[in-house]
Amino acid sequence: MPIRLLSPNIVNRIAAGEVIERPAAAVKELVENALDAGARRIEVILVGGGITRIEVIDDGCGIARDELALAIERHATSKLSDETLVRIATLGFRGEALPSIGAAAKLTLISRPKGQDGAYRIVVAGGEVSAVAPASAPEGTRAIVEDLFYATPARRKFLRKPAAEADAAERAVWRLALSAPNVAFRLVSDERVMFDVAAQDEAGRVAALFGRETAGGLLALEAERDGVRLLGLAGPASLSRATTALQSFVVNGRPVQDPLLRMALRLAYRDVIPAGRHPVAALRLEVPPEALDVNVHPAKTELRFADANGVRSLVIGAIGRLLERPVSLAGAPPVYTPLSSQRPVLNLPPRPSMQARGFAEAEFALLTPPEARQFEPVEPLAEHPLGAPVAQILDTYVLAVAADGSLVIVDQHAAHERLTEERLRAEFQAGRVASQPLLLPVVVDFTPIEAARLLAQVDVLQSLGLEIEAFGPGAVLVRAVPAALKEPDAAALLRDLAEEFGESETPVALEAKLDSALARLACHRSIRAGRRLAPAEMTALLREMEATPRAGTCSHGRPTFLKLTRAELETMFGRRGM
């Protein structure tokens, strides 16, 4: 068969498969065009998941009558000031979206620039272009896509059900709305208004699209390194989700799903949330244009950074510092008083003659006359976000009352585990983990493989204050343990550590081993569930939690405390609206 050039129509249909692989991609391209046109309000209407119909209506600068025909030509664009592809300041620039959509569907463009007497339309159906004709429309542009992929049936048969395609298209608009909070967005899918948000600041947009309750728990962050600036909002470790749905990344105003940024976010939270859970974050990066390549993929959702390691370190470091902020129920760092100078938090009533079953005796009476139950703080409880302890239940949970009246429930083992790990981590980073020699060294029996695995990590364990050596086939002798662990069960500790260590010797694996070992050491040192605490111990635990980084979750990522607000308690007891 002789070689021949493909017709422009076939070329456009082939290219459409790269640029417009599903309705969400068409929606994304059209909304990006509206943003590049300077729109202040954008409305997106979907019918049948976008397969049947997509409409994007904007009040941007519009397309002049004489340029409508050129706008649907491949590689025709108004967005590049030169041909270097270095300083790209717009979302679109390739000039592929409109001809690709027109090659695979029926595309109608109706546009009226500011100052033009009337509107004009052009229609492209399966690559066939109609003549430009007068139309009636306000200033701006209205793009209508109908019967997507009717001209490329091979592509259409691989589309998912309309509900799934609608979900993907809605997510695309959601990301774009987060990237441009100064633009009003309205999204309608099959006559249902999915969201309708006015132009607002970034925090307001995140609250509108993440949900106000979720957004209320986010913390602001800002960091800069080598000309790259990171801003945004990220959740504490206690605020995690089962999916990555509440994660947004914007780079130079462009919403992206870049693997490097997703990985950096995951690594930043690796030690503080459980496996299978995902952090909540809305992050915005400002990168010098010459240090960024957005021309990596036709969809423009992945990037190439000139200093990828620097960007990764910036994200991980900034979030790490954010997570190290002490516990605060109000979202702001609390003011702390040294333990030695703290006065009693409560005026305490007399102890009751009866004690409720399952409650440890605390400095608060559960069965007293009403007047005695009105305790008042001697100093502002706002200085102590976790409040004042009032009881211990099931010898496991400490109950406290915060300044705003919220009930705080603390898991004593999980909380102390985090406190111990952070103390050990600080000692390790300072190079001074103290060892406590055992009066009588302990011999622990292992399988030959387990013993070999442990002995291969002698240096790692020694840096953590644990001294071991070989003691015949399949046995290990423990000579010293970290002093911070007081009196641990050396055999149980070593067996647990053997399970933590893998066989890989890569730097990342070594770092993971250290983290795992610190967590395991902390677990063996921590206050156990089932131990009754004295009132002073409860108070000391809460105060140290407030002053310790990452104290909102334990070493395994589980929450160390829960808070029930007055509104939540009233809802639980059916008192809301009474």
pLDDT at 263 over 80: yes
pLDDT for residue 277 is more than 60: yes
Residue with tokens 């983290």: 515
Distance CA 179, CA 214 (A): 18
Q: Which fold has domain 208-323?
A: Ribosomal Protein S5; domain 2 (3.30.230)
Report which of residues 419 and 209 the model is more confident about.
209
Mean pLDDT of 434-458: 81
Q: Which of the pair, 221 or 508, is modelled with greater confidence?
A: 221
| Residue 360: strand pairing partners | 392
Answer yes or no: is pLDDT of 376 > 70.
Answer: no
Query: Which class is 349-578 in CATH?
Result: alpha beta
Going by their DSSP bridges, the two strands 53-58 and 41-47 should be labelled as: antiparallel
Q: Which two tokens stand for residue 529?
A: 């569930």
Q: Please tell me which of 237-241, 377-381, 500-504 the model is most confident about, judged by mean pLDDT.
A: 237-241
Encode pLDDT of 13-41 as tens digits. Answer: 555 555 688 999 999 999 999 999 999 99
Q: For residue 401, list its beta bridge partners.
A: 388, 407
DSSP assignments along 473-502, one per residue: TTEEEEEEEEGGG-S--HHHHHHHHHHH--
Structure tokens at 474: 């399949």
pLDDT tens digits, 62-87: 999 988 988 888 655 554 454 444 45
List of residues 6+ apart from 325 with CB closer than 8 A: 219, 333, 549
Over pLDDT 90: what percentage of the chain? 30
Output b/e per residue, 39-68; b: 16+ Cβ within 10 A: bebbbbbbbbbbbebbbbbbbbbbbebeeb
Asked if the model's pLDDT at residue 275 lies above 70, the reply is yes
Strongest mean pLDDT among 122-126, 269-273, 321-325: 122-126
Domain limits, the chain: 8-197, 208-323, 349-578
Cα–Cα nearest to 60, from 156, 183, 168: 183
pLDDT of the residue at 504: 41
Q: pLDDT value at position 135?
A: 94
User: Domain 8-197 classified CATH 3.30.420.340?
Assistant: no
Domains 8-197 and 208-323 alike in fold: no
Q: 295-309 pLDDT, tens per residue? A: 665 555 677 888 989
* Least trusted range by pLDDT, from 13-17, 19-23, 153-157, 276-280: 13-17
Alpha-carbon distance 290 to 306, whole Å?
8
Instruction: Using pLDDT thresholds of 50, 70 and 90, give the confidence band for residue 503.
Output: very low
* Confidence at residue 530, expressed as pLDDT on a 0 to 100 scale: 61
pLDDT at site 4: 67
Is the distance from CB of 560 to CB of 545 less than 8 angstroms?
yes
Q: How far is CA 130 from the centre of its chain?
A: 47
